[in-house]
Structure 1
Amino acid sequence: MNDDIHISNTLGELFVRAARRFDDRVALSDDHGAMTYREMGEQMRRYAGAYRAAGMKPGSAFSLLSANRVEAVVALAAGLMVGMRYTPLHPKANVEDHAFALQDANIDLFLVDDRHFAEHGRDVAAQCPGVRTMSFGGLDYAPSIEAAAEMAEPAPLQAVAGGDTPAFVVYTGGTTGRPKGVVHKNRSLVTNLLLQTSECELPQEMRFLAVTPISHASFLFILPTLLRGGELVLRAKFDPARFVDELHTHRITSTFLVPTMIYVLLDRPEIWERGAGPLQTLVYGASPMSPTKLAKAIEAFGQIFVQVYGQIECPNIISVLGKADHDLARPHMLKSCGFPSAATSVALMDDDLNPVPPGEIGEICARGPLVMEGYWKRPDATEEAMGGGWLRTGDMGRMDENGFLFIEDRKKDLIISGGFNVIPREIEEVLNRHPEVSIAAVVATPDEKWGEAVMAVVVPRRADFADAAALIESVREAKGALCAPKRVEFVAELPLTPLGKPDKKALRARYWASAERLVN
């Protein structure tokens, strides 16, 4: 049998289909203008012509450093149409991590956003002299892709056929050392698209507001929007003062937020005064959400929440907690990360990949067509993560009698104090319920008596709140003396990873700097 019969569509082909199908509907908009599907297709042709004139071909590698803007979506679509391999760069990462990604992924073409990353892009390009650099709009060190497109012959609006080569190399957030390149082929990317469309309860009429970076989570909602003839409304950053008004004025029907964004919105009067307007689906993920704050969010927005759980290695949809399960009458469900998706097998395993007994905590492991191919040029890391036929997520969880998953903590975050295991997330949930706490993170600190002690780092709602004893007592009452923090530190803000999660690595570094190792 010809193996080609099972080759997947490519994302490039799906962008082409959308551009051809919906003509004069608005496809993309940002604060600087809008573009119809017909115009998007024409611009894809011009950008693809510029790529080819620059020597790019199927298998060449390109990377974007851009805020959310119309040109970035078109440049991405054009590259995928040509059959190039894509590496996104997260807008909040530093110069060194960006330069490392370009060099490690063997990038041929680096595209820079002239409005938001001119100086940053210059510093990255200076560290990567072998990488060709272009920009939107034109910069002194990076010629304009628009000018190149005007001089080049437009490419046909036709995608390179699917193949078995890497389509994406996406770098991890770097919370456990040097970022690793996660390799995905079109197989896993199209699987993700199908799961996003079928399991996220997205509205039929899609007007999606992208306020998280399209380099990461919001990217996964681009094609679900465009393949339905919807409009992708792009914003360069999350503006909580503007967000609710955007929902109403642009008649937004769906969006994606990380929990920290939802927490900020809950502290503003606009959502309580005006409501969510036409918003039908609010997808959230990237980090666990406080059940107490989730209940408050349901009161503010309505029962429109969908939680997706995944990671770059198995993007977004290992499991889904749907709207019906965001039920205030069943508050225990607000702690769940959902039910395994249709394309993913999930099991809870011990360190030897043996299933743990029902009801016990184990590492969440996944397999199926959504899982990555492996880590770019890192066979040892690939074997560590995937050896034995399962992807080890590094998340510790349990499963209830109905098959719903509950994440208890990241495996590496476990605190061992006096020989007993302490799960930081359980303490964070108690602290986050306190009316004076905006957000809290719990880490281990070295302790001569206990080995490791529980440390709470708290962002208070009021700058003058500093009652550590009250917070410690609230945990003691809820979880017992073992879980009560030995110390509480009040800060104005928590460090965040590029994905918007509390950066536990950065927090731990504050307290373990003089230690020879990060366990005690």
Structure 2
Amino acid sequence: MRLIDFFDRGVALDPTRTCLKDATVSRSYGDVQRRSYRIANALAAAGFAPGQKAAVYSPNGAVAFECILGIVRGAQVWVPINARNTAGENAYILDNCDVEVLFYHSEFEANVEVFRKDCPKIRSYVCIDRAGADAPFLEDWIAEAPETDPDIPEDRDATISIVSSGGTTGRPKGVVWTHLVWETMIANFFTAMPVGKPPVHLVVAPMTHAAGIVGIILMAAGATQVILPGFDAGKVVTAIETERVTHLFLPPTAIYVLLAHPGLKDHDFSSLDHFIYAAAPMSVDKLKECLDVFGPVMTQSFGQAEAPMLCTFLSPEDHLVIGDPQKEKRLASCGRPTFMTPVAIMDDDGKLMPAGERGEIVVRGNLVMPGYYKNPDATREVSAFGWHHTGDIGFSDEDGFVYIVDRKKDMIISGGFNVYPSEIEQVIWGHPAVQDCAVIGVPDDKWGEAVKAVIELKPGANITADEIIALCKTRLGSVKAPKSVEFWDSLPRSPVGKVRKKDIRETFWKGRERAI
């Protein structure tokens, strides 16, 4: 199936059902479908052929979502760019991915001027909320376009989107997603999370990443997308209650803030079916708190841009193990492989490891990208031995649950011992005074690298470095306990909410020839 066919399936279920809803716009599936026709036809009339690259540069919003659907409808290639990135970061992505048409919100007019200088391949700009400084207003641009389906046939192996890799360790690479990649992801999603009633999905995190991807997937089931411009804990809990939200995605860092919101337990969360968390490991202690507050709805997936969203899955039922010492350890896992995606653990020589042995998590199947855009060398590097190499270190247990120990590049070697920061972070996250933390290796004349914890406390909370170190020694032993602790007002985060360990490490390794 083409990606747009999944949206059209949602239309067929009920064209009158609300599709997109934000603070200013509310449109039915039928209305959104007709607008996607007009955007696709306007692209064709402007000389943009199938396969050419297009992007949407906007905060979360209904019209931005419509532009994405119009791009996909016209068989152009959607290149997501995050509104929270710097202008320079987005200019690099736009140019690297050969984007030729940009739909943008007037909020970013100044940044568009940067693109006009640094992205010469862009030959058309369209402003989605008013007339731009040198760009037509979307409503004028599509005014004469017909409301008829261009119905462009496409091969399932054709590229339909190019998604940027994380970018926390260097320049992002363009990850090619075909219709087949999307089809496999959607099949994994509904196999793991069957839908019994029309969903209501709350879009809070950037719609250019997981929140938008979940939204597109759920459109196949006729989901209403309730769109917030960004994360605000009070608005999130209110929206869940008033809109009767069934599905929500948030990264762990945002969930920690949500848990600290005053009056959280005064709200009704009974409508939730799946509260999806992903993008980074989550504190087991805070996960238990979530289960107490939100009920048996916590849902974890593990994936990355190169094998998106659903390599493994930890279902709400898998979370119901509290009180069973043999099974409770599963809360630290990211679940078991999904229906259409084999997952294994591999050593550096390409040997698959048995249960309990640590190695790199590898995946294969149609969920895996066909490659990086215009980067065959990087593609070959991550595709050794016929598997995609995730860069994550982990192991599987005897029941097939996969545990992420760390990013391969995050491992600390201290005094000849391998130390995995996520083990230490799990302990620190569990302290009630801690909002978030990052554990890194810092230069040390004796140990080579010394374990250091950098901690962001909850507002008004207090704890000493000695208390943190003692806690870790008690739980993990002296080798893994931090040798030092610093408290920062806030940790640096990427535009999608991940703690930028690279930035934290650079604070301590600056000016040195080696970073290990």
Q: TM-score under structure 1 normalisation?
A: 0.95
Indicate the percent of aligned positions where both proteins have the same amino acid.
Answer: 35
Alignment partners' CA distance in 2, 1:318 and 1:163: 20
> In structure 1, what is the equivalent of residue 209 of structure 2?
216
* Matched letter for residue 10 of structure 1: R
Alignment partners' CA distance in 1, 2:57 and 2:171: 19
1:117 equivalent to 2:111? Answer no
1:140 equivalent to 2:133? Answer yes
SS in 2 for 1:218: helix
* Matched letter for residue 99 of structure 1: A
> In structure 1, what is the equivalent of residue 173 of structure 2?
180
Residues 194-233 of structure 1: matches in 2 within 5 Å?
Answer: 194-233=187-226
Alignment partners' CA distance in 2, 1:227 and 1:182: 23
Which of 504, 509, 520 is the equivalent residue of 2:506? Answer: 509
Alignment partners' CA distance in 1, 2:242 and 2:459: 32
Alignment partners' CA distance in 1, 2:84 and 2:209: 11
8 Å contact kept, 1:348–1:364: yes
Calculate the aligned-residue CA RMSD, in Å. Answer: 1.6
- Distance apart, 1:286 and its partner CA: 0.7
8 Å contact kept, 1:13–1:160: no
Distance change >3 Å, CA 492–CA 51, structure 1 → 2: same
* Matched letter for residue 326 of structure 1: H
- Distance apart, 1:202 and its partner CA: 4.5
Which of 489, 495, 505 is the equivalent residue of 1:498? Answer: 495
Which of 88, 93, 103 is the equivalent residue of 2:95? Answer: 103
> In structure 2, what is the equivalent of residue 90 of structure 1?
82
Alignment partners' CA distance in 1, 2:474 and 2:394: 24
Alignment partners' CA distance in 1, 2:460 and 2:244: 36
* Matched letter for residue 403 of structure 2: F
- Distance apart, 1:219 and its partner CA: 2.2
8 Å contact kept, 1:20–1:41: no
1:388 equivalent to 2:385? Answer yes
Residues 335-374 of structure 1: matches in 2 within 5 Å?
Answer: 335-374=332-371
- Distance apart, 1:341 and its partner CA: 0.4
8 Å contact kept, 2:11–2:222: no
Which of 66, 69, 73 is the equivalent residue of 2:61? Answer: 69
8 Å contact kept, 2:53–2:98: yes
Which of 188, 193, 200 is the equivalent residue of 2:186? Answer: 193
SS in 2 for 1:108: strand
After TM superposition, the runs of 4+ consecutive aligned structure 1 residues lying more than 4 A away are: none
Alignment partners' CA distance in 1, 2:112 and 2:228: 20
Alignment partners' CA distance in 2, 1:224 and 1:15: 8
- Distance apart, 1:254 and its partner CA: 1.2
8 Å contact kept, 1:203–1:253: no
Alignment partners' CA distance in 2, 1:480 and 1:309: 29
> In structure 1, what is the equivalent of residue 427 of structure 2?
430
Alignment partners' CA distance in 2, 1:270 and 1:227: 35
> In structure 2, what is the equivalent of residue 79 of structure 1?
71
Alignment partners' CA distance in 1, 2:29 and 2:432: 48
Which of 252, 263, 276 is the equivalent residue of 1:270? Answer: 263
> Which range moved further: 29-38 or 355-364?
355-364
- Distance apart, 1:436 and its partner CA: 1.7
Structure 1, residues 429-450: CA drift from partner, whole Å, max 9, x if none? 1111112211111001011111
- Distance apart, 1:226 and its partner CA: 2.1
1:34 equivalent to 2:31? Answer no
- Distance apart, 1:162 and its partner CA: 3.0
Alignment partners' CA distance in 2, 1:517 and 1:160: 52
* Matched letter for residue 125 of structure 1: R
1:308 equivalent to 2:301? Answer yes
Which of 485, 489, 494 is the equivalent residue of 1:488? Answer: 485
8 Å contact kept, 1:201–1:281: no
1:329 equivalent to 2:320? Answer no
SS in 1 for 2:385: coil
Distance change >3 Å, CA 125–CA 20, structure 1 → 2: farther
SS in 2 for 1:294: helix
> Which range moved further: 213-222 or 361-370?
213-222
Alignment partners' CA distance in 1, 2:414 and 2:118: 44
SS in 2 for 1:167: strand
Alignment partners' CA distance in 2, 1:119 and 1:518: 37
> In structure 1, what is the equivalent of residue 154 of structure 2?
161
* Matched letter for residue 12 of structure 1: I
- Distance apart, 1:464 and its partner CA: 6.4
Distance change >3 Å, CA 163–CA 296, structure 1 → 2: closer
Alignment partners' CA distance in 2, 1:449 and 1:172: 36
- Distance apart, 1:270 and its partner CA: 2.9
> In structure 1, what is the equivalent of residue 40 of structure 2?
48
1:243 equivalent to 2:236? Answer yes
Structure 1, residues 416-472: CA drift from partner, whole Å, max 9, x if none? 011111111111111111122111110010111110001100011245625111111
SS in 2 for 1:351: coil
> Which range moved further: 274-283 or 54-63?
274-283
8 Å contact kept, 1:47–1:154: no
Alignment partners' CA distance in 2, 1:357 and 1:337: 18
Alignment partners' CA distance in 1, 2:6 and 2:400: 34
> In structure 1, what is the equivalent of residue 51 of structure 2?
59
Distance change >3 Å, CA 146–CA 159, structure 1 → 2: same
Gaps (5+ residues) in structure 1?
Answer: 1-8
Distance change >3 Å, CA 163–CA 193, structure 1 → 2: closer
8 Å contact kept, 2:41–2:150: no
Residues 249-260 of structure 1: matches in 2 within 5 Å?
Answer: 249-260=242-253
- Distance apart, 1:152 and its partner CA: 3.4
Alignment partners' CA distance in 1, 2:12 and 2:433: 53
Alignment partners' CA distance in 2, 1:403 and 1:291: 19
> In structure 2, what is the equivalent of residue 12 of structure 1?
4
Which of 396, 399, 403 is the equivalent residue of 1:402? Answer: 399
- Distance apart, 1:103 and its partner CA: 1.0
8 Å contact kept, 1:41–1:157: no
- Distance apart, 1:477 and its partner CA: 1.2
Distance change >3 Å, CA 254–CA 464, structure 1 → 2: closer
Which of 473, 476, 486 is the equivalent residue of 1:476? Answer: 473
> In structure 2, what is the equivalent of residue 5 of structure 1?
none
8 Å contact kept, 1:472–1:484: yes
Structure 1, residues 260-296: CA drift from partner, whole Å, max 9, x if none? 1111111113321224131221111011100010001
Structure 1, residues 53-73: CA drift from partner, whole Å, max 9, x if none? 211121111011112211111
Which of 256, 270, 280 is the equivalent residue of 2:273? Answer: 280
Alignment partners' CA distance in 2, 1:438 and 1:488: 15
- Distance apart, 1:154 and its partner CA: 4.2
8 Å contact kept, 1:443–1:454: yes
* Matched letter for residue 36 of structure 1: S
Structure 1, residues 465-503: CA drift from partner, whole Å, max 9, x if none? 251111111111111111121111101111112222111
8 Å contact kept, 2:256–2:286: yes
Corresponding residue pairs, total? 510
